[in-house]
């Protein structure tokens, strides 16, 4: 969920007056707007301490239409270029962290888009590589009081 929220925040920060829908588009959605949804979410154990998530997200931009309900092509190309700047050329995106956590980033593995003029939309697939710590629970009781006896031996 953090990665999804991070992507939505990037879009909202760069397009502050445009709705960003998450996971589904309402029936009465407005144009222009974005839809962001998780498509896949694979994970792989790297070692005892870390695992890697490789989620793919779909970002859809629904472009403007004129009074005759025709697609305005020029703004689509402008948004497509801006999406390249935000996701492809940045190489990584900042992750929204919990209070007290250090700042973290997720590597952008791939960014592919398809402009569909007949729909007035841009469809993008964004795949991210992100490592996390494997949570380990302590399955033993901690020692409370410990008494040690130490004996030293010296050679003459």
**Residue 82 confidence (pLDDT):** 96
**Residue 134 confidence (pLDDT):** 63
Asked, for residue 93, whether it belongs to a domain, the answer is yes
Asked, for residue 146, whether it belongs to a domain, the answer is no
**Residue 154 confidence (pLDDT):** 79
**Is the pLDDT confidence value at 48 over 70?**
no
The pLDDT mean for the chain works out to 85
Asked, for residue 156, whether it belongs to a domain, the answer is no
Asked, for residue 41, whether it belongs to a domain, the answer is yes
Number of domains comprising the chain: 1
Q: What is the value of pTM for the model shown? A: 0.76
Angle, vertex CA 142, rays to CA 141 and CA 143, nearest 5: 115
**Residue 149 confidence (pLDDT):** 78
Asked, for residue 33, whether it belongs to a domain, the answer is yes
Asked, for residue 42, whether it belongs to a domain, the answer is yes
Confidence band (pLDDT; 50, 70, 90) for 133? low
- Tens digit of pLDDT for each residue in 74-124? 999 999 999 999 999 988 888 877 777 778 888 999 999 999 998 999 999
The boundaries of the domain holding residue 85 are: 2-133
Q: The domain that contains 73 carries what CATH number?
A: 3.30.2000.10
Euclidean distance between CA atoms 72 and 95, whole angstroms = 33
- Tens digit of pLDDT for each residue in 54-81? 899 999 999 988 888 888 889 999 999 9
Asked, for residue 86, whether it belongs to a domain, the answer is yes
Helix (H) or strand (E) segment spanning residue 132: strand 121-133
Asked, for residue 138, whether it belongs to a domain, the answer is no
């Amino acid at each position: 969920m953090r990665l999804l929220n991070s992507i939505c925040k990037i879009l909202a920060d760069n397009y502050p007056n445009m709705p960003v829908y998450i996971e589904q588009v309402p029936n009465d959605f407005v144009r222009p707007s974005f839809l962001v949804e998780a498509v896949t979410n694979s994970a792989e154990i790297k070692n005892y301490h870390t695992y890697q998530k490789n989620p793919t997200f779909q970002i859809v931009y629904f472009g403007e239409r004129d009074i005759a309900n025709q697609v305005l092509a020029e703004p689509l190309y402008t948004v497509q270029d801006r999406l390249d700047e935000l996701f492809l050329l940045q190489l990584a995106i900042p992750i929204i962290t919990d209070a007290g956590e250090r700042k973290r980033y997720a590597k952008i593995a791939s960014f592919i888009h398809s402009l569909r003029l007949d729909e007035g939309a841009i469809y993008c697939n964004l795949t991210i590589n992100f490592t996390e710590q494997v949570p380990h629970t302590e399955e033993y009781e901690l020692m409370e009081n410990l008494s040690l006896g130490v004996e030293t031996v010296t050679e003459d």
